[in-house]
């Protein structure tokens, strides 16, 4: 285990909070439509910050630790692109005005970071106490990979999400967005706006993605600090990345299949690690450098194959993928996967 000082933790968390605060202030005080140029600049900035942190981390803690950080960052970044698919679906479903999408995404990222921090703390504790948790995490990722691949040509049914349905049933909701406010008082009665329901939907999505992404990054490294940093820096750029690539997401037709392959690979890696520790040291383990290479190659193949496919068949559209059949299929429709 790496010896990470309290000062390093404090400075890293402080940097992340500062960047989040800037994003939140910009979203709250200056709601506006984010253009391509602004999105590009912010995306480059966040990637540069993540890379600079990785370079510093490597210089301080060695090449092996640095490789684990970059592998974890790439895993989380690739999974976050799938988040973007769902965010697009949510924004479209609830007809969120473009000038308020910045605020929604920033709050969504804050929720995601809080949830993942909790999962990281719990996951790290469980792994340190019970080595068989590597087996359980590996099986969870394999199950997720199979489900994602089976339903790779479907989208999550946001309207029928249990969290959204409950919010609609128990909360008094206005018909309009009321200038991007979350809660208003009208005729002596406190009401929530559709923007509040959108945040509830994104929070539910964040929870589901945290259940997948945390075991995935623990498959690359068991260092809690690296897991936290990789997640945080990958999520920080999500808001800008949304505005940069939302017009291109439809072309990544093989992304869900590629992510299923990555999750399955990491699941097998976790199971091999458990077997190596608990059963027989002769069981081989997958080095982090190999993991990094496999992840990068899969992502490159996915992107190239997707672009070639959509160039040949422009009518083909990508889907976010789902972990269960959509309501249409449940009602007897055919499987599009």
Per-position pLDDT tens, the chain of length 337 = 788 999 999 999 999 989 888 877 776 666 666 677 777 888 889 899 999 999 999 999 999 999 999 999 998 888 877 777 777 778 877 888 877 777 777 777 788 788 888 888 888 888 877 888 888 888 988 998 898 888 888 877 666 666 677 777 777 777 777 777 778 887 778 888 888 888 888 877 777 777 777 888 888 888 889 999 998 898 887 777 877 776 677 788 888 888 889 989 988 988 998 898 888 888 888 888 888 888 889 989 998 999 899 888 888 887 777 766 655 444 444 443 3
Q: Where are the alpha helices (DSSP H) in 62-130?
A: 63-93, 98-129
Residues 6+ apart with CB under 8 A from 336: 153, 154, 329
Phi, psi of 262 (to 5 degrees): -65, -45
Q: How many other CB atoms sit within 10 Å of the CB of residue 258? A: 24
CA-CA distance, 97 to 178, in Å (whole number)? 11
> 63-93 and 98-129 are packed helices; what angle lies between their axes, rounded to 10 degrees?
140
Residues 6+ apart with CB under 8 A from 131: 274, 277, 278
Contact status, residue 26 vs residue 100, Cβ threshold 8 Å: no
Contact status, residue 88 vs residue 246, Cβ threshold 8 Å: yes
DSSP three-state, residue 185: strand
pTM, two decimals, is: 0.76
Check residue 31 and give its pLDDT: 64
Check residue 163 and give its pLDDT: 65
Classify burial at 7, counting beta carbons within 10 Å of its beta carbon; exposed 0-12, middle 13-18, buried 19 or more: exposed
Q: How many other CB atoms sit within 10 Å of the CB of residue 238? A: 22
CA torsion sign, 139 to 140 to 145 to 147? positive
Report the greatest alpha carbon distance in the chain.
72
């Amino acid at each position: 285990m790496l010896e990470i000082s309290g000062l390093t933790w404090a400075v890293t968390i402080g940097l992340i909070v500062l960047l989040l605060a800037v994003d939140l202030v910009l979203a709250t005080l200056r709601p506006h439509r984010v253009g391509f140029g602004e999105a590009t600049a912010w995306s480059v900035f966040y990637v540069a910050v993540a890379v600079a942190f990785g370079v510093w981390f490597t210089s301080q803690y060695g090449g092996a630790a640095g490789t684990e950080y970059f592998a974890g960052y790439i895993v989380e970044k690739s999974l976050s692109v799938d988040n973007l698919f769902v965010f697009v679906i949510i924004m479209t479903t609830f007809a969120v005005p473009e000038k308020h999408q910045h605020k929604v995404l920033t709050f969504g990222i804050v929720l995601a970071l809080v949830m993942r921090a909790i999962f990281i703390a719990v996951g790290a504790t469980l792994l340190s106490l019970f080595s068989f948790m590597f087996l359980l995490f590996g099986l969870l990722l394999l199950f997720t990979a199979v489900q994602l691949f089976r339903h790779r040509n479907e989208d999550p049914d946001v309207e029928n999400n249990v969290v959204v349905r409950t919010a609609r049933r128990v909360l008094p909701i206005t018909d309009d967005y009321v200038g991007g406010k979350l809660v208003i008082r009208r005729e002596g009665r406190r009401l929530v706006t559709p923007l509040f329901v959108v945040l509830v939907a994104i929070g539910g999505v964040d929870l589901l993605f945290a259940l997948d992404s945390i075991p995935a990054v623990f498959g690359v490294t068991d260092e809690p600090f690296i897991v936290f940093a990789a997640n945080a820096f990958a999520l920080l750029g999500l808001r800008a990345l949304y505005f940069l690539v939302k017009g291109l997401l439809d072309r990544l037709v093989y992304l869900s299949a590629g992510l299923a392959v990555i999750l399955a690979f990491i699941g097998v890696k976790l199971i091999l690690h458990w077997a190596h520790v608990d059963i027989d040291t002769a069981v081989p383990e997958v080095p982090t450098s190999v993991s990094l290479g496999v992840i990068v190659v899969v992502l490159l193949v996915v992107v190239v194959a997707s672009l070639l496919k959509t160039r040949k068949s422009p009518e083909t559209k990508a889907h976010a993928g789902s972990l269960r059949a959509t309501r249409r299929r449940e009602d007897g429709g055919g499987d599009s996967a």
